[in-house]
Amino acid sequence: MCADRPAVLRGAGRDWPVYAALGEARLRELEDRPVVAEDAGGRPVPLALREILDESRAERPRGLYLRDQLVSEFEPSLWNLVPREVRRLNWLLALPGDVRPDWAWLMIGGAGTGSPLHVDTMASSAWNLLGSGRKRWTFHPPGRAEELRLLPPGCGGPPGGDGTDVVTLVQEPGDVVVTPSGWAHEVHNLTGTVSVTANFVNRSNVGFVRRYFEILEDRANLDLLTAVGTTFDRLDGVTGGSGAR
């Protein structure tokens, strides 16, 4: 799942235990859990999970979208249902808990909702497993993201595209969409959807992320990346290259 261009891995997530847990019947077992969705104007709307599940099936949805719900705060056991090799994609999980980023989210919304054009946090990469519904993704390469001021000047560079090509993908249930570092993207829910997503930094994108923090002159995060990278380099030396990638 580490690549220079966006990709949709057809059916790759159907065997993940978390895929079954994203089914409506399983989620309905947790329907009394409080969550905070957003309305069409981005304003927070506290409600119960059952209401956002109803919204995802409504013929005339109200535009509510649960898109910033941390898995760790909703139901931590969901994360353990993600295959270990996928969880281990993120080197930063090796950090102490007080500095480790919490980068896994549950997302539920009705038709017509979505995420506006953005670059992922800390210029990380991401994967998204769709449990139900259909999503349309539109990607712009890092050079274009820089032009749109979604990346700092000098960060976009040539990797991943010439600054003009656009990638559009439609995601179906069980598909995993991979977003490489620096690619700007927007997502539109063509129907009601349920998905889980997580971000990661590892050998495949640490160079891009390091350049991002160098340009921002963010010494603290640069030091963290260096420490984590050194640790995994050492592990690769001991294990013959089996460290998380």
- Can you give the CATH number for the domain in which 46 is found? 2.60.120.650
What is the helix, strand, coil percentage profile of the chain, to 5? Answer: 30, 25, 40
Domain count along the chain: 1
pLDDT (0 to 100) of residue 235: 52
In a domain, 111, yes or no: yes
Does the residue 142 lie in any domain?
yes
Q: Looking at residue 232, what is its pLDDT? A: 77
Identify the band that residue 236 occupies on the pLDDT scale cut at 50, 70 and 90.
low
CA dist., res. 239 & res. 245, Å (int): 13
Distance CA 71, CA 106 (A): 6
d(CA 205, CA 220): 18
Residue 156 lies in a domain: yes
- CA of 60: how far to CAs of 23, 114, 136, 209, in Å? 21, 16, 19, 41
Q: What is the rounded average pLDDT of the residues 85-109?
A: 92
Q: What is the pLDDT of residue 67?
A: 94
The answer to the question of residue 2 being in a domain is no
| 245 falls within a domain | no
Alpha carbon dihedral 201, 202, 208, 213, in 10-degree steps, equals: 50
Is 50 exceeded by the pLDDT of residue 239? Answer: no
Q: Which residues of 140-161 are buried (b: 16+ CB within 10 A; e: fewer)?
A: bbbbbbbeeebbbeebbeebbb
For residue 117, give its domain range: 7-239
Averaged over 12-33, what is the pLDDT?
A: 97
- Residue 234 or 145, more confident: 145
d(CA 198, CA 57): 24
Residue 101 lies in a domain: yes
CA dist 110 and 166 (Å) reads 26
State the chain's mean pLDDT as an integer: 91
Is the model's pTM score more than 0.85?
yes
Tokens of 179: 């977003």
Average pLDDT over residues 212-233: 88
132 domain-assigned: yes
> How much is the average pLDDT of 70-93?
95
Facing residues of 168 across strands?
Answer: 138
The answer to whether residue 1 is domain-embedded is no
